Amino acid sequence: MKKECGLGRVLEPKETVPASAWKVDNSRDLRKGEARIAIKLINIEWDSFQQICSSCGYDDEKIKAKILYIIERRGKLHNPFTSTGGVLLGVAEEAYDGQFPGKDVAGGDMVYCTSSMTGIPLYIDEITGIDYNYGQISCAGYAIVFETSRLVKARKDLRNNYTLAALDEAGNLYGAHQMAVDDGARYIAIIGKNTFTTAVFGAALRKAMGPECGIVAIMDKYLRGSLSEAEVNQTLRPLIRETYFLDLTEPIAAYREMKKKETIAGSFDLVIITEDIFGAEALAVMLAKTKGGLYFTSIANHYGSAQLAAENLGKVVNMYAFDQFVENYHKFTLDLIEFTQFKLEEINNLYEKKKKISRLTKSRSKEISINKAGRDDDFMYSSEVTRNLMDEVLNIARFDCNVIIQGETGVGKEKVLSLIHQNSERRNNPCIKINCATIQESLGESDFFGYEEGAFTGARSSGKAGYFQLANNGILFLDEIGTLSLNLQTKLLRVLQENQFYKVGGTVQQDVNVRVICANNIPLKGLVDEGRFREDLYYRLNICTIDVPPLRERRADILVLAEGFVKKWNKKYGVDRVLSPEALNGLYNYYWPGNVRELENVVHRLIIGSTGVVINGNAVDDILNEDAYGDMMMNVKQRVERTSELNFDELMAQQERRIIEYALRKEGTTRGAAKLLGMSHSTFSRKKIKCGL
């Protein structure tokens, strides 16, 4: 490669390009072929921005912390859940050899970096503001760009916010423009994801086809941002003749409604799809004429689902997705912004007036998915923490990638697996669940890959199918994967790399298509650092990681879960028990080291052990603290029987841990536990961390 593209900055895994690497080096010092940009403004790709906001409950501080966490973990602003980045604005600060990438760019210039941040190392000191209308953050920090990066000198006559947002769509705008020109489209529909994006695509198409072209827009009725329907309609004219607000999650009903209002519905020459709500792709197929064009601004806009919808409807359409680099398309976009600046200023002024009350509205399709999945899969929750977790889980489910689920014992990792399976493309295929801790080393290979007839003494005459064969076209769930030996890890890695294997004693190569989801109650990265888990296997599995928080960090769920378990056991045993307010309070304040599994066990025992209708607080306290004092005592006699020597420091450390754990169980909070033991809160917190609690 003649030009520097950042390969030397890749940390994990090695031998990959920065855009697909899990982690890059974002250190400040420059190397040959590099330059540094002082960041002022970042435009986060819209789907990524929505996902971050949704997972953080639209809380400013949580959103800032989430973005900083992604950068700290990855060295770049590359959202692992949407696999997208964005573009940025900053000042050209320093170049290694004095030469910045981009035509006529020099030190001190304000520049747009239009290369995706999925491949740009960056560091942020501080996030000073969030713009929910454009999906942008104002911040201070730096980015490292390379010879292959695209820098464009900023235009002083154009506002930075809408210019940067438009540049993030630059390739798609150019592609839509060219497609309209090439096909001679006269009637066009845009399924828009927000007001601004719909406006700039409308401008690109107007520039291509002139004022005679009939352009209408369709937007989800539950996702308009801060503007009313009337304001959106008025703002988009004359770029858009008419804007319709429909429920995109119900495409057939939406099409019928469109047909009443637009006689050409079903006969559009071209439909532009910028929204990723499930249902938008099916509506687009229905709106387009036979052999008309569907233009997807991203493959993530359910391109594959549209193919299936077209086949199901028996309709032939031409489908395109433009998501690549074209020389000088930034110039096209800047000219386009100048062409429609009056309209973009109008939108910006409306945004500014409503900025203080503006918040993105969650996509209704995502809310429906969350509620439905939670109900169908018996995943009960009430806390915002779990609601955000569900949002991330359902988002990951639609991407057919390997996943690591991490969390303490009993938090509900298999429930998360069930949600992924039921909401994935593989939901109609098997989900094979394996506990790796039960696999014997000597039988591991035959368990995973199966064996042929006569492969070894004692083998079945008919042979045996292995886990991979059983899970073909579905999901293979490997629980406690960290317990596998390094030898079995090596064999597992080979299958994941090649999607092929040989049965034990076999000579015919077996092809498989399996999505692997694994779980462990100890973070696998820690096992990698200790040399107990292969690093290359870890990176093969770790496309996405889901951390399931312990129950004590989502206490609002405790009451919902407890009531749900009461109903479950009441129904099973034909009784009618209820938890008193004191009982619920006792459950709420408990530390729950065993998490949801322990909670269900406790409720089960309360139902069986109670003779009256009302379960009181004393009954809860008796069960929760029945072993508390016994847990504090060390059985020294048993230890003496096992060894002739005792380690005093070890004994005292274990005793201290039990005391700390007991106090937490009894009081439920670190402050209460510290008070019980007569310690300051800070001293108790240090001891708690020391004990790993």
Instruction: Fill in the DSSP letter of residue 575.
Output: -
Mean pLDDT of 500-523: 88
Cα–Cα distances in angstroms (integers) from residue 129 to residues 42, 126, 139, 140, in the given order? 11, 9, 7, 11
Among 73, 76, 96, which Cα is nearest to 86's?
76
- pLDDT at residue 458, as a whole number: 63
- pLDDT at residue 93, as a whole number: 94
How confident is the model over 550-571, as pLDDT tens digits?
Answer: 988 888 788 888 888 998 898 8
- The Cα–Cα gap between 227 and 63 comes to 22
Torsion angles phi and psi, residue 151, rounded to 5 = -110, 135
- pLDDT at residue 225, as a whole number: 60
How confident is the model over 13-40, as pLDDT tens digits?
Answer: 888 889 888 889 999 999 999 999 999 9
H-type helices in 355-501, by residue range? 364-376, 384-397, 413-422, 444-449, 467-470, 486-498
Q: Look up residue 565 and give its two tokens.
A: 């378990």
The highest-confidence range among 133-147, 256-270, 289-303, 644-658, by mean pLDDT, is: 133-147
For residue 12, is pLDDT > 60? yes
Instruction: Fill in the DSSP letter of residue 388.
Output: H
- pLDDT at residue 326, as a whole number: 54
Task: Give the long-range contacts of residues 208-212, CB within 8 A, separation 24 or more.
Answer: 208/177, 208/178, 208/180, 208/181, 209/180, 209/181, 209/185, 211/238, 212/186
- The Cα–Cα gap between 8 and 182 comes to 41
Among 73, 78, 88, which Cα is nearest to 134's?
88
Q: Look up residue 303 and give its two tokens.
A: 């391109």
- The Cα–Cα gap between 640 and 476 comes to 45
DSSP-derived 3-state class of residue 138: strand
Mean pLDDT of 137-142: 95
Among 11, 35, 37, which Cα is nearest to 22's?
11
Question: Band of the pLDDT at 109, cuts 50, 70, 90?
Answer: very high
Among 317, 334, 428, 380, which Cα is nearest to 554's?
380
Mean pLDDT of 265-271: 89
Q: Look up residue 561 and give its two tokens.
A: 């879960």
For residue 364, is pLDDT > 60? no
Torsion angles phi and psi, residue 659, rounded to 5 = -65, -45
Cα–Cα distances in angstroms (integers) from residue 414 to residues 324, 393, 469, 567, 650, in the given order? 38, 12, 21, 21, 35
Question: Band of the pLDDT at 405, cuts 50, 70, 90?
Answer: very high
- The Cα–Cα gap between 56 and 493 comes to 34
Q: Which residues lie closer than 8 Å to 224 by C-beta, 6 or more apart?
A: 195, 232, 245, 361
- Pick the more confident residue, 290 or 658: 290
- The Cα–Cα gap between 149 and 560 comes to 51
- pLDDT at residue 354, as a whole number: 66
E strands in 109-264: 110-113, 122-131, 136-146, 151-153, 187-192, 214-220, 242-246
- pLDDT at residue 355, as a whole number: 61
> What order do you get walking across the sheet with 268-273 strand by strand?
242-246, 214-220, 187-192, 268-273, 288-296, 318-321
Asked which of 50-59, 112-121, 147-156, 494-503 is least confident by mean pLDDT, the reply is 50-59
How confident is the model over 46-102, as pLDDT tens digits?
Answer: 878 887 886 676 778 888 988 998 898 889 998 876 778 899 999 999 999 988 987
Q: How many CB atoms lie within 10 A of CB 88?
A: 30
- The Cα–Cα gap between 161 and 159 comes to 6
How confident is the model over 210-224, as pLDDT tens digits?
Answer: 877 889 999 988 665
pTM of the model: 0.55
Among 98, 89, 291, 44, which Cα is nearest to 185's?
291
- pLDDT at residue 375, as a whole number: 40
Q: Which residues lie closer than 8 Å to 370 by C-beta, 6 or more apart?
A: 387, 390, 391, 394
* 191, β-bridge pairs: 218, 273
Identify the H or E element spanning 667. helix 648-667
CA-based max dimension of the chain: 95
For residue 359, is pLDDT > 50? no
How confident is the model over 142-181, as pLDDT tens digits?
Answer: 999 999 898 989 988 888 988 898 888 878 888 888 888 8
Cα–Cα distances in angstroms (integers) from residue 262 to residues 91, 218, 250, 257, 286, in the given order? 48, 12, 18, 9, 13
* 142, β-bridge pairs: 38, 123
- pLDDT at residue 38, as a whole number: 96
Cα–Cα distances in angstroms (integers) from residue 445 to residues 432, 451, 483, in the given order? 16, 9, 15
Q: Which residues lie closer than 8 Å to 471 by C-beta, 6 or more apart?
A: 430, 431, 432, 512, 514
User: Please, how many CA atoms are within 13 Å of residue 654, restricted to the half-sphere of its CB?
Assistant: 12
Asked which of 2-16, 32-46, 124-138, 346-360 is least confident by mean pLDDT, the reply is 346-360
- Pick the more confident residue, 626 or 476: 476
- pLDDT at residue 667, as a whole number: 74
Mean pLDDT of 480-502: 90
- pLDDT at residue 461, as a whole number: 67
Question: Band of the pLDDT at 660, cuts 50, 70, 90?
Answer: confident
For residue 338, is pLDDT > 90? no
How confident is the model over 437-452, as pLDDT tens digits?
Answer: 888 887 888 889 888 8
- pLDDT at residue 113, as a whole number: 92
Inter-residue contact 359 to 365 (CB < 8 Å): no
- pLDDT at residue 378, as a whole number: 54
- pLDDT at residue 90, as a whole number: 95
**Cis, bond preceding 238 (omega within 30 deg of 0):** yes
Inter-residue contact 419 to 376 (CB < 8 Å): no
Mean pLDDT of 497-522: 88
For residue 472, is pLDDT > 70? yes
Mean pLDDT of 169-197: 85
Inter-residue contact 374 to 390 (CB < 8 Å): yes
- The Cα–Cα gap between 298 and 116 comes to 14
Among 601, 591, 546, 547, which Cα is nearest to 691's?
591
For residue 463, is pLDDT > 50? yes
Q: How many CB atoms lie within 10 A of CB 30?
A: 15
Torsion sign, CA atoms 661, 666, 670, 675: negative
Q: How many CB atoms lie within 10 A of CB 479?
A: 21
Instruction: Determine what percent of the chain is predicted with pLDDT higher than 70.
Output: 88
- Pick the more confident residue, 214 or 453: 214
